[in-house]
Amino acid sequence: MNNKTTLQIIIVGGGAAGLLAAVAAARHGGKVTVLEKNNRVGKKILATGNGRCNFTNMDMHISHFHGSYPKFALAALRQFNNLQTIAFFEQLGIYHKVEEKGKVFPFSNQASSILDVLRYELAELGVNTAVESEVQAINKSDKGFEVVVKGGQRYFGHRVILATGGKAAPQLGSTGSAYQLAVRLGHRLVEPLPSLVQLKLAEPWLKQIKGIKINGEAEVIVQDKTMARAEGEILFTEYGISGPPIFDLSRTAARWLQKGHRVHLKVCMLNHLSREQLAEFLSRRFQANPGKPLAFSFVGFINKQLAPVMLKQAGIQDVQKKVSEVTAAEREKILNILQDWRFAVTGTNTWTAAQVTAGGIDVRDINPRTMESHIMPGLFFAGEIMDIDGDCGGYNLQWAWSSGYVAGVSAATIAMSW
């Protein structure tokens, strides 16, 4: 093939990873077509960060990324890092701000800003976008790939980038149906599970405390061992438990449940105090008001709706008895509940509630420096379709940007092998 021939690049999926890949490929000389099955591109971008789009984070340590082989993400994250991401969007017009825990948002507080500037850039670069174009087959030929969409229309590409996302938020188009496109081309699939999602608990009294928030710490416990730990704002719901720390723990809980293990969640409501400090505090508090009803004695310390439930879970049935009547053994049980409350995890919320997918196309079959398939030259991957997922806080979007950039540049610049 003549090296001056313009490479035709087909990108399957018009989400964050696919759009960044399209910009990168077009800027490096590729003639790009994006095939999106929804009626518009970038639907999931609009829903990120509660509509504000937490598009990256200032802390990009690899510990924030997960999968069977999380270090796979390092090469792409180094080629297009968080600072380069901020600079990229700044060049497109996005003024940014940094909030708690290093979260980066557009100053406009509008996720639509990110999508608007990406779509404008695609138009400026002459990228062809075909919506309502669900890809049903990818066939390899001697000269490249034939991509067949629902309805029978066919597209030719010297290169194909799969950026179809996972199974999270199917209402936004991520159904996981495209996994089979890669599997049919020889790739392996790590069973997908919902991640960054609420956990379901078995407790019958959850309705009594739904809506209550605490700032504390949570751990996933399997066979009396801590498998993961996170802290922050925890929210009780009528079906279980939610909040950023729970989201970060959900992939670990789901994976162990999938393996058939009993999984427990340990919640420490007062992780800022040692057990000794908490014991001394309660002792002083009880001594100061010995005649108060036990449940009422916690008013002003913990949520008053939480107190009677917590006390009954500590084995104290008469929550109205005087503080002076609390035994030493009961006080120890109260301390245990306040700092080591255990719940049996029965599952996760549905794919509709999940923010991201854990699992996906096995990264062992992909070159981490180029995102090109080891199995099928000319086939590239970007974003959530791969077995890499991140914590809450902009990490999944950064993975989309980084892997999309690398896939786009590689698809447009790597010499043809046929």
Domains plus CATH for the chain?
A: 8-194+356-413 (3.50.50.60), 198-348 (no CATH)
Cα–Cα nearest to 157, from 148, 172, 169, 145: 145
Measured CA to CA, the distance from residue 41 to residue 172 in angstroms comes to 10
User: CA-to-CA distance for 296 and 151, rounded, in angstroms?
Assistant: 67
Taking 50 as the threshold, does the pLDDT of residue 1 lie above it?
no
- Identify the three-state secondary structure at position 12: strand
What are phi and psi for residue 323, nearest 5 degrees?
Answer: -55, -35
- Which pLDDT does position 412 carry in this prediction? 97
At position 42, the amino acid (one-letter code) is G
Q: d(Cα 33, Cα 36) in Å, to the nearest integer?
A: 10
Average pLDDT score, the chain: 95
pLDDT per position as a tens digit, 202-248 = 999 999 999 999 999 999 999 999 999 999 999 999 999 999 999 99
Taking CB atoms within 8 Å and a gap of at least 24, the contacts of 295-302 are 295/319, 295/320, 297/323, 302/214, 302/269, 302/338
Residue-level pLDDT at 4? 59
Q: What is the mean predicted confidence (pLDDT) over 323-342?
A: 94
Mean pLDDT, range 135-161, rounded to an integer: 95
Per-residue pLDDT band for 2 (boundaries 50, 70, 90) equals very low
* CB burial of residue 239 (10 Å; 0-12, 13-18, 19+): middle
pLDDT for 279-301, tens place per residue?
A: 999 999 999 999 999 999 999 99
Residue 166 to residue 188: CA distance in whole angstroms = 14
Q: What share of the chain is helix, strand, coil (3-state, %, to 5)?
A: 35, 25, 35
How many contiguous H segments (helices) and E segments (strands) does the chain have?
A: 12, 21
Mean pLDDT of 2-29: 91
pLDDT at 110 over 90: yes
pLDDT single digits (tens) 346-398: 999 999 999 999 999 999 999 999 999 999 999 999 999 999 999 999 999 99
Q: Which H or E run includes 361? A: strand 356-361
How far is Cα 292 from Cα 134, in angstroms, rounded to an integer? Answer: 66
Pairing of strands 154-157, 145-149: antiparallel
**Residue of 5, 50, 40 lying closest to 19 (CA atoms):** 40
> What confidence tier does 418 reach under pLDDT thresholds 50, 70, 90?
low
DSSP code for 14: -
| Distance between CA atoms of residues 252 and 238, nearest Å | 22
Cα(29)–Cα(125) distance, rounded to whole angstroms?
10
